[in-house]
């Protein structure tokens, strides 16, 4: 199937809008997402499609605790710097977090923590590109386009049970 189109699917964190172009996922947005998609429109709403079926299946496995990484064709739209940040986000292991500063250092641009934070905030493929795994310099929860309650939920979902007892949030 070609062209931009979308579906809405339910999840434990509310309805999610999945957006695809061709065979690639280009967006995954929460209901009430704080930053609107940069797309001119989400295309028509459709009932199915291979990329949507695969995404819904993998999200279900993730929420059931059976999946720790996603294997989907992704084509996020953004600047070259944003795409570099988003690619780095996909390398943060399940159950771990990084700070904006750590990501800036990993990018080879140690003074760019604020720019990394901005790119993180514009991540168009929430959950799959795990921007929820990025925390403030002190380890505290900071902004999240889906809201801090969803961020907390996702981090708690990913946390190994033995470590959950000592967690502050």
- What residues are annotated to the active site? 131
Cα–Cα distance measured from residue 114 to residue 98, given in angstroms and rounded to the nearest whole number: 14
Between the alpha carbon of residue 137 and those of residues 34, 90, 105, the distances in Å are 22, 20, 13
Q: Please write down the long-range contacts of 136-141, taking CB distance under 8 Å and 24 or more positions apart.
A: 136/99, 136/100, 137/99, 137/100, 137/101, 137/113, 139/97, 139/99, 140/169, 141/169
- In the chain, % helix, strand, coil (3-state, to 5) comes to 35, 15, 50
Cα–Cα distance measured from residue 155 to residue 169, given in angstroms and rounded to the nearest whole number: 9
């Amino acid at each position: 199937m070609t062209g931009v189109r979308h579906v809405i699917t339910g999840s434990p964190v509310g309805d999610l809008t999945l957006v695809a172009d061709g065979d690639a996922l280009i967006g995954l947005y929460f209901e009430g997402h704080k930053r609107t998609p940069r797309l001119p429109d989400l295309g028509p709403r459709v009932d199915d499609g291979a990329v949507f079926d695969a995404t819904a299946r993998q999200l279900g496995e993730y929420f059931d605790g059976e999946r720790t990484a996603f294997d989907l064709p992704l084509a996020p739209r953004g600047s070259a710097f944003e795409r570099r940040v988003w690619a780095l986000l996909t390398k943060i292991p399940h159950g771990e977090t990084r700070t904006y500063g750590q990501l800036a250092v990993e990018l080879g641009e140690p003074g760019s923590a604020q720019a990394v934070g901005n790119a993180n905030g514009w991540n168009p493929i929430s959950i799959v590109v795990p921007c929820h795994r990025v925390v403030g310099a002190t380890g505290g929860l900071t902004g999240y386009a889906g809201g801090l309650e969803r961020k907390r939920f996702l981090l708690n979902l990913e946390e190994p049970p033995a470590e959950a007892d000592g967690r502050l949030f």
